[in-house]
Amino acid sequence: MQISSVNDVKIYNLSHGKSLPEWLSDRKKRQLQKKDVDIQRRIELIQDFEMPTVCTSIKVSRDGQFILATGTYKPRIRCYDTYQLSLKFERCLDSEVVAFDILSDDYSKLVFLHCDRYVEFHSQHGHYYKTRIPKFGRDFSYHYPSCDLYFVGTSSEVFRLNLEQGRFLSSLQTDAVENNVCDINPVHHLFATGSSEGRVECWDPRVRSRVGMLDCALSSLTEGTEVEGLPSVTALKFNGSLNMAVGTSTGQVLLYDLRSNQPLLIKDHFYNLPIKSLTFHNQLDLVVSADSKIIKMWNKDNGKVFSSIQPQTNINDVCMYPNSGMLFTANEDPKMNTFYIPALGPAPRWCSFLDNLTEELEESPESTVYDDYKFVTRKDLENLGLSHLVGSSLLRAYMHGFFMDIRLYHKVKSMANPFAYEEYRKDKIRQKIDESRAQRVQIKKLPKVNKELALKLMEEGDDEAEVASRKKKGKALPSILGDERFKVMFENPEYQVDEQSEEFRLLNPIVSKVGQKRKKKLRLLAQQAAASHQAAEDEEEPEGRASSDEESSDDDKSWVEEVREQRRLLRQEDRDRRKQERKEADHNTVLFEREQNGGEKTSIPKKPSQPQFYQIKAGEEFRSFNDIARKQKLQKASLEDRLKLEEHSGTSNMADTAVGSKQLTFTLKKSEQQRKQQQAEHEHHKERKKLRRSAGHLSSGRGRGWGGGRGRGRGRY
């Protein structure tokens, strides 16, 4: 059960809470009820008070014992017995129900108007009779003295079906194109229809003639009303013998006295949604009007709001239980809502325990659990330096963050930023001063944030204004600088455009070319407007198109080249940055012990059995400790000392030339691996020379075969 208070009126939502799926077994349901606290605390006033998908309409029988509701899918009607607090029966239908009514005091006589023009009658045992009307119906009313059903719909006629004779009677011809709703006064039985043109026509069933007509569409238009089309009548309800309420498609409710053609009161819902339902509460002189979003209860004399209910889903129909404070709603949801408002009246006799329950709740009010807590995210905790409290009792995990005590939050906030209030006060004073200055004579200045973008927009705006002024019917479009939606982009420093970012540099050539094309197009439009009186312009138009196509292709090629150039520069900057990082890493490479020994680079020998571990940065080749020390010492030496050292080592050689200049030759040192490889190759060649045998002792004479050749036969040696 959910408790809310609107305008100091307590509203109890008895349908709030978890619902159990239908496919669960009874055993599973009992187990869930034992384990889940929310299911234990919920109030299931009527068992299975729901529809499979959507509930379209709901009504209460005149004896107050039965509640009937229609819904989908599949199309069906369900009847609930309030004495048993459970479902009495369920009947499936062939098509969706547009409207239905209860002809008897209980559920024994029902009439259904379907969406496919069928009218279906049900008796106590089930389906009784089915007929069809000539046009699609939208609503109907039952006239008890003559046993006539009046059907209105997509036609100017009102069809009459007499249930005593079992046949259609002559129709009533209205002036409307379509009729949406109808109703019959319970006192003098005046029949009224509401049309799509915003008119209400009243008929006398005794003589079958029209006795009056009201133009509600014209009366609903007031000074503060904004409408896009002609308001139509979507709801109609009589109260007593003289009062009538009319609901329009634009969200207004008009109260009429039948003796006057002007409304007594006009109540606007301010949602611009069609009124779905109208009900009178005579005990408190209230009108209960509902659209698809909200249910409003207001005084019919002065229009003062008594209270309102706003469910989480859209509303299809509203039904009040007679002589009580209980309210049922049919929603775009499987669950049908049940609201109890003690201020409207007592609970019905079949659920009188609700009065005792509400009195107990009022005597022991409970404060909201999280009234004294502040919701913070992980980022907020990092900014406040409270990340170490995660997992402790001071933080309670909830969704994507945590709840913490509001007093602790304010204390830490003041410690983290003690001058926050002073800064806030200065900002407010500065804003007030700026607002007062804005009323003076203003000079066109650039904003503090995104000055380049503002200057560009100002230039484009001037060009467009100039072109629009040259046109006869042209109007300049409003500038972005003057639009309130983009105001924060030129005031908040967080929206500053970073022109050095990679995304901006890649996108800037395209944007600049688009801006150039736009300026060029504006110049062309200005030239065409200036030379519009020349007749030869029509003949030269194809040539101009060809040249503009060539220029556009050249522009495309140019901005593609600029994008490629920007990509090349970005890659070069990335390589230079990585190279510089490697140099800094090589310069700062040090060896240190894994064990903490005071930050010294040399290890302290402890025991010969325990090995010493060292760590070196990635990318550095380790040769020896002496080599590292020599390099560090050499880096501290001057250039002259390093040149002398290289001359002694034979790396560099300086000589004077004939013309008086100097020549310096450097011999790069080879690495140890290269020297070893060359030494191995030299030894290999030397070994091969030693193993080589001379072939000088072999005879060089030719063979004795046929033709002086070597032959293949047996030769002589």
CB atoms within 10 A of CB 463: 18
Using CA atoms, how far apart are residues 89 and 79, in angstroms rounded to an integer? 5
Show the tokens assigned to 109: 């006589």
Q: Torsions phi, psi of 59, nearest 5?
A: -145, 160
The three-class DSSP label of residue 104 is coil
Segment 203-255, tens digit of pLDDT: 999 888 899 999 888 877 766 666 677 889 999 999 988 999 999 998 899 99
For residue 453, what pLDDT is reported? Answer: 75
* Partners of residue 213 on adjacent β-strands: 201
Using CA atoms, how far apart are residues 233 and 250, in angstroms rounded to an integer? 9
Tell me which H or E stretch contains 435.
Answer: helix 420-438
More confident call, 383 vs 69: 69
Q: Apex CA 114: angle with CA 112 and CA 117, to 5°?
A: 120
DSSP-based helix, strand, coil % in the chain, nearest 5: 30, 30, 40
Show the tokens assigned to 553: 């292709």
Phi-psi map region of 474: left, alpha, beta (phi>0 left; psi -120 to 50 alpha) = beta
Question: Is position 459 within any domain?
Answer: no
* Partners of residue 340 on adjacent β-strands: 12, 326
pLDDT at 597 over 50: no
> The dihedral of CA 598, 604, 607, 611: what is its sign?
positive
β-bridge pairing 326-331 and 209-215: unpaired
pLDDT at 605 over 50: no
DSSP notation for 533-586:
T-GGGTTSHHHHHHHHHHHHHHHHHHHHHHHHHHHHHHHHHHHHHHHHHHHHHH
The residues near 660 (Cβ < 8 Å, ≥ 6 apart) are none
Q: Which of 412, 383, 381 is nearest to 397 (CA)?
A: 381
116-125, 216-225, 476-485: range with lowest mean pLDDT: 476-485
For residue 540, what pLDDT is reported? Answer: 45
pLDDT at 702 over 60: no
Q: How confident is the model at residue 600 (pLDDT cuts 50, 70, 90)?
A: very low
Q: Apex CA 332: angle with CA 329 and CA 334, to 5°?
A: 85
Question: Is position 403 within any domain?
Answer: yes
Question: Is position 261 within any domain?
Answer: no
The residues near 220 (Cβ < 8 Å, ≥ 6 apart) are 198, 227, 231, 248, 250, 252, 254, 266
Question: Is position 33 within any domain?
Answer: no
Question: Is position 249 within any domain?
Answer: no
DSSP notation for 583-618:
HHHHHT---EESS-STT-SS-----TTSPP-EE--T
CB atoms within 10 A of CB 160: 19
pLDDT at 10 over 80: yes
Q: Apex CA 651: angle with CA 649 and CA 653, to 5°?
A: 105
CA atoms within 13 A on the CB side of 590: 8
For residue 73, what pLDDT is reported? Answer: 87
Using CA atoms, how far apart are residues 266 and 268, in angstroms rounded to an integer? 7
For residue 90, what pLDDT is reported? Answer: 93
Residue-wise burial string across 5-44, b where 16 or more C-beta atoms lie within 10 A, e elsewhere: eeeebbbbbbbbbeeeeeeeeeeeeeeeeeeeeebeebbe
Segment 268-298, tens digit of pLDDT: 888 889 999 999 998 899 999 999 999 999 9
Segment 643-687, tens digit of pLDDT: 777 777 666 666 666 555 666 676 666 666 788 888 899 888 888
Q: How confident is the model at residue 528 (pLDDT cuts 50, 70, 90)?
A: low
**What is the CA 699 to chain-centroid distance, rounded?**
101
- Identify how many contiguous H helices and E strands the chain contains and give both numbers: 13, 36
Considering only the C-alpha atoms of the chain, give the largest distance between any 2 of them, rounded to a whole number of Å.
Answer: 154
**Residue 42 has what DSSP assignment?**
-
Do the beta carbons of residue 627 and residue 611 sit within 8 Å? no
More confident call, 618 vs 215: 215
Question: Is position 371 within any domain?
Answer: yes
Segment 82-106, tens digit of pLDDT: 998 899 999 999 999 999 999 999 9
β-bridge pairing 167-173 and 157-162: antiparallel
For residue 38, what pLDDT is reported? Answer: 60
* Partners of residue 168 on adjacent β-strands: 161
Using CA atoms, how far apart are residues 308 and 11, in angstroms rounded to an integer? 9
Using CA atoms, how far apart are residues 328 and 80, in angstroms rounded to an integer? 13
Parent domain of 371: 367-436
pLDDT at 114 over 90: yes
Segment 43-73, tens digit of pLDDT: 778 888 889 999 999 999 999 899 999 999 8
Show the tokens assigned to 441: 């004579």
- End-to-end, the C-alpha distance of the chain in Å comes to 125
DSSP notation for 623-637:
--HHHHHHHHHHHHS
Cis status, amide bond into 73, omega within 30 of 0: yes
| Beta strand spans in 115-198 (E) | 118-122, 127-132, 137-143, 148-153, 157-162, 167-173, 179-184, 191-195
Question: Is position 413 within any domain?
Answer: yes
More confident call, 424 vs 153: 153
- Say how many domains are in the chain: 1
CB atoms within 10 A of CB 592: 14
For residue 477, what pLDDT is reported? Answer: 58
Do the beta carbons of residue 180 and residue 214 sit within 8 Å? no
Question: Is position 661 within any domain?
Answer: no
Using CA atoms, how far apart are residues 127 and 123, in angstroms rounded to an integer? 6
The three-class DSSP label of residue 117 is coil
Segment 154-201, tens digit of pLDDT: 999 999 999 999 899 999 999 999 999 999 999 999 999 999 999 999
Do the beta carbons of residue 289 and residue 277 sit within 8 Å? yes
For residue 508, what pLDDT is reported? Answer: 67
Using CA atoms, how far apart are residues 461 and 290, in angstroms rounded to an integer? 48
Using CA atoms, how far apart are residues 653 and 650, in angstroms rounded to an integer? 7
Q: Which of 688, 715, 686, 690 is nearest to 703 (CA)?
A: 715
